């Protein structure tokens, strides 16, 4: 863990972030170790920093529900795995956005990572289940995971970018999630490193996440599996060199990641506020992602 702390401190010295949190997950023992750093102060106790999980929201909402509800309908799986032909992104209107998302035909296509596809999956599954999506989602998550609109002044958030010239603290970075002001499954969840670790370990314990995904990962025919990203080149992946081909996870735009090696039953999480100043400079972040992953796969 000290080596992970050292890597994180080096990253903070050479990047635009001022906060980093890391966890190492053991799915055999249902345990984890974690730390967080803010302004170079290391906290090894209960985590306090709320990070914008960004697109980690997608697997924590859509993927978890798809697995829990044993979704098998072809159209839903195409949406979940970004193969339904929907546009990747676009600014949505505050009124009528659901109608716009539902207007796109679902056509099996080449993989195109799509926020619209994630939103369409949410709308389709919510209608099928006849329940509020938000209520269903939070049954699978630790209580310290919150939708950004439900954050309180007591929740310590770190800055991510700027709105109207002022630091964005406690508001979602994603423009559609921010403008729509409704629960969305593509972005919007905030939480601590401990909350995310507990959510991943708890979902595996209660729903056999690794056991269900392992055979699918071993026989995958495309990049995404139940909405989780997978490793295509183990030598150059952001999951870190040394992982097996049965590794899955996701990346978040604000500087977040998690990766789980189903063979080893180990995983790791990185949270940061890489978009504090610049959204486009991810070179140091991606190097940190690779270094953390490689260290975890080698030594834990």
Q: Which residues of the chain have pLDDT under 50?
A: none
Alpha helices in the chain (DSSP H): 2-14, 57-58, 64-68, 74-80, 97-103, 115-129, 133-138, 175-180, 193-207, 209-218, 283-299
How far CA 271 is from CA of 111, 194, 274, 279, 298, in Å, comes to 26, 11, 9, 15, 21
Task: Classify domain 2-56+146-299 by CATH architecture.
Answer: 3-Layer(aba) Sandwich (3.40)
pTM over 0.75: yes
Identify the pLDDT of residue 72: 97
For 157, the enclosing helix (H) or strand (E) is strand 156-157
Nearby residues of 245 by Cβ (< 8 Å), 6 or more positions away: 217, 218, 231, 234
Identify the pLDDT of residue 164: 87
* Model confidence pLDDT, tens digit, residues 36-49: 999 899 999 999 99
> What phi and psi values does residue 247 have, to the nearest 5 degrees?
-105, 135
Total count of residues recorded for the chain: 300
Identify the pLDDT of residue 61: 98
């Amino acid at each position: 863990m000290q080596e992970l702390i050292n890597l994180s401190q080096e990253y903070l010295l050479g990047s635009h972030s001022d906060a980093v949190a890391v966890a190492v997950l053991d799915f055999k023992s249902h345990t984890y170790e974690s730390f967080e750093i803010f302004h170079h102060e290391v906290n090894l106790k209960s985590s306090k920093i709320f990070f914008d999980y960004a697109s980690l929201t997608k697997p924590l909402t859509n993927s978890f529900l798809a697995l829990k509800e044993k979704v098998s309908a072809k159209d839903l799986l195409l949406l979940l795995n970004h193969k339904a032909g929907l546009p990747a992104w676009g600014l949505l209107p505050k009124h009528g956005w659901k109608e716009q998302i539902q207007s796109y035909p679902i056509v099996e296509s080449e993989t195109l990572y799509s926020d619209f596809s994630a939103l369409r999956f949410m709308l389709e599954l919510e209608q099928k289940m006849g329940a509020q999506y938000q209520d269903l989602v939070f049954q699978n998550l630790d209580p310290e995971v919150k939708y950004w609109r439900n954050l309180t002044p007591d929740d310590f958030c770190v800055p991510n970018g700027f709105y109207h010239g002022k630091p964005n603290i406690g508001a979602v970075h994603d423009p559609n999630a921010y403008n729509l002001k409704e629960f969305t499954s593509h972005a919007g969840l905030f939480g601590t490193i401990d909350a995310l670790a507990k959510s991943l370990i708890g979902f595996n314990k209660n729903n056999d996440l690794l056991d269900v995904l392992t055979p699918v990962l071993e026989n995958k025919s495309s990049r995404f599996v139940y909405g989780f990203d997978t490793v295509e080149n183990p030598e150059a992946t952001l999951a870190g060199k040394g992982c097996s081909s049965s590794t899955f996870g996701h990346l978040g735009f604000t500087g977040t990641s998690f990766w789980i090696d189903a063979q080893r039953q180990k995983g790791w999480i990185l949270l940061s506020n890489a978009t504090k100043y610049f959204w486009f400079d991810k070179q140091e972040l991606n190097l940190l992602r690779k270094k953390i992953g490689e260290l975890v796969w080698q030594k834990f």
